Amino acid sequence: MFIKKIVFILTLFSAVTINAQELAILKYNGGGDWYSNPTALPNLIRYCNTNLNTKLKERVQTVEVGSSLIFQYPMLHMTGHGNVVFSNEEAANLRTYLLSGGFLHIDDNYGMKPYLEKELVKVFPNLKLEELGVNHPIFNQKFKFIDGLPKIHEHDGKRPQAFGITYENRLVLLFTYESDLGDGWEDAIVHNDPEEVREKALKMGANIIYYVFKN
């Protein structure tokens, strides 16, 4: 773990030095469509570069849960509709990444939650997902969300919820549920969402990125 942590820190230092960083999509096993919403993250990056003056590369890579390549990225994004499976080795690799300074945002595209919760126990046997209150800093970054996580798409009529795993007072994992932020980040033609709905999704996404790089 110590060696991986040093590599991770050096990678982040190098990225900051050249004033440009990359985000990545997390590829997982189990049959879930980890590749859904292909235009989402590139659109969010462009939005952040324009509105937050970030210098994120628009090129989005794909990395596997068990790969050492995850340590090259300060933030990973994971999404999908169905089953998620982590091997014990993958869970250990993801745990090391998160405890070493990395951040994972998981956006439930509908149907992930029961599978994901089971697999996160492998990653953090002693830590649980806890709902974030509306006063959490992630809702009060560049943009203010006084009611918490915005609702982007309706599925089962449930309220949107943001869950997190915190380690040593640092939020290391964010799970957005019944919101579908990623659908709101996609090209407008994909879901035909009203512009104000897409704007809410992009602003919340920008808050996530701002939080990750600020904290």
Statement: residue 14 has pLDDT above 70: no
Asked if 152 contacts 44 with a C-beta cutoff of 8 angstroms, the reply is no
Distance CA 40, CA 20 (A): 19
Average pLDDT over residues 110-138: 96
What are the tens digits of pLDDT across the range 130-177?
Answer: 999 999 999 999 999 999 999 998 777 789 999 999 999 999 999 999
Statement: residue 72 has pLDDT above 50: yes
* 117 band by pLDDT with thresholds 50, 70 and 90: very high
Per-residue DSSP letter, 105: E
Cβ atoms within 10 Å of 117's Cβ, excluding its own: 14
Average pLDDT over residues 38-48: 96
Question: What value does the mean pLDDT of the chain take?
Answer: 90
Statement: residue 8 has pLDDT above 60: no
- pTM here is 0.90
User: Given this model, what pLDDT does residue 190 score?
Assistant: 85
> Domains plus CATH for the chain?
2-214 (3.40.50.12140)
Distance CA 4, CA 203 (A): 33
Asked if 140 contacts 132 with a C-beta cutoff of 8 angstroms, the reply is no
- Least confident residue range of 9-18, 31-40, 86-95: 9-18
- DSSP states of 41-103 as a string? HHHHHHHHHHHT---B-S--EEEETT-GGGGG-SEEEEEESS--B--HHHHHHHHHHHHTT-E
User: Given this model, what pLDDT does residue 20 score?
Assistant: 64
Distance CA 181, CA 193 (A): 12
Express as a percent the part of the chain with pLDDT over 90: 81
User: Given this model, what pLDDT does residue 73 score?
Assistant: 96
User: Given this model, what pLDDT does residue 154 score?
Assistant: 77
Distance CA 127, CA 198 (A): 33
